[in-house]
């Protein structure tokens, strides 16, 4: 069967080199499949178009107006994590958890757009992907960690599973927690942790802080149940 010129050029668009795959000079741009106007017209004809939830433009400020407290970095941080909307990989065992919130600047009292946050945690069994020196993850493989960015209204949200507590001594445990490393130009870098109210291991933990502890609410849907919580962050201005 003969190939058309267009198919031949498409098949020849990617060529191999000693260093990997590159686009050839014959590569064609990806074709579009319509514009938003066409899609909006279809939605307008539907009896019940799908709701498009939007964060509030002027959200209420956090009740306690103070810079979010810091917390220990811990030994399991890894740099270079890609941006994902889910912290956990597909089919990760555990109870589904959705965390959302806003990031504010303490000096302006306004949400901060495009704040970068590294988020990482243990799995449901209390294990990190790099806590075993004899079984280190491969380069570029990140489990239960991701990078998240706030939108133009300072809002963020991610899906994960409830992290498990883990033992750090004969009679010592770390309660369930999620790590944050938050960065934005003009503000101090924040290293902190998020905790969940009601964890029995919090009584003897040396690092937990009440201001970093949130309540979780149960959400019931036709597809299953999950828990959700809100963790707002206030960044201190960098006066250097």
- Determine the pLDDT at residue 52: 46
Q: Is the pLDDT of residue 23 over 80?
A: no
Find out whether 14 and 8 touch, Cβ atoms under 8 Å.
no
Calculate mean pLDDT across residues 202-209.
94
pLDDT-derived band at 240 (thresholds 50, 70, 90) equals confident
What pLDDT, in 10s, does the model give residues 102-161?
Answer: 999 999 999 999 999 999 999 999 999 999 999 999 999 999 999 999 999 999 999 999
Q: Are 69 and 212 in contact (CB under 8 A)?
A: yes
Res 224: pLDDT: 87
219 pLDDT above the threshold of 80: yes
* Residue 148: C-alpha distances to residues 14, 158, 222 (Å): 32, 8, 28
Angstrom CA distances, 160 to 5, 54, 91, 120, 153, stand at: 47, 21, 11, 10, 22
Angle of CA points 121, 127, 128, to nearest 5°: 50
* pLDDT tens-digit map of 31-74: 665 555 554 554 455 444 444 445 555 666 676 789 999 999 99
Q: What is the mean pLDDT of the chain?
A: 84
pLDDT of 5 higher than 70: no
Instruction: Report the distance separating Cα 159 and Cα 181, nearest Å.
Output: 17
Average pLDDT estimate for 83-106 = 96
Angle at 34 between CA 29 and CA 37, to 5 degrees: 135
Alpha carbons 232 and 84: distance in angstroms, whole number: 19
| CA distance between the termini of the chain | 69
Domains and CATH numbers, the chain: 1-32 (no CATH), 96-235 (2.60.130.10)
What mean pLDDT is predicted for residues 79-87? 95
Q: Report the candidate in 231, 227, 189, 191 with the shortest Cα–Cα distance to residue 213.
A: 231
Question: Mean pLDDT, to the nearest integer, of 174-198?
Answer: 98
CA 94 remoteness from chain centre: 17
Q: Is 117 within 8 Å of 190 (Cβ atoms)?
A: no
């Amino acid at each position: 069967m003969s190939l058309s010129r267009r198919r031949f050029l498409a098949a020849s668009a990617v060529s191999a080199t000693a260093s990997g795959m590159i686009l050839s000079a014959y590569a064609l741009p990806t074709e579009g499949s319509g514009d938003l106007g066409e899609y909006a017209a279809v939605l307008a004809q539907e009896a019940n178009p799908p709701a498009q939830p939007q964060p509030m433009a002027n959200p209420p400020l956090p009740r306690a107006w103070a810079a979010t407290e810091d917390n220990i970095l811990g030994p399991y941080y890894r740099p270079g994590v890609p941006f994902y909307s889910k912290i956990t990989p597909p089919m990760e065992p555990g109870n589904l958890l959705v965390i959302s919130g806003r990031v504010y600047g303490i000096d302006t009292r306004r949400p901060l757009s495009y704040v970068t946050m590294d988020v990482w945690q243990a799995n449901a069994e209390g294990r990190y992907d790099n806590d075993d020196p004899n079984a280190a993850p491969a380069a570029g493989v990140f489990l239960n960690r991701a990078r998240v960015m706030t939108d133009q209204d300072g809002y963020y949200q991610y899906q994960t599973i409830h992290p498990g507590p883990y033992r750090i001594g004969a009679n010592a445990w770390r309660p369930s927690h999620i790590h944050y490393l938050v960065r934005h130009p003009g503000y101090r870098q924040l290293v902190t942790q998020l905790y969940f109210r009601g964890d029995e291991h919090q009584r003897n933990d040396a690092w937990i802080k009440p201001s970093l502890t949130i309540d979780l609410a149960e959400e019931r849907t036709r597809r299953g149940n999950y828990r959700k919580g809100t963790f707002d962050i206030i960044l201190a201005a960098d006066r250097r």
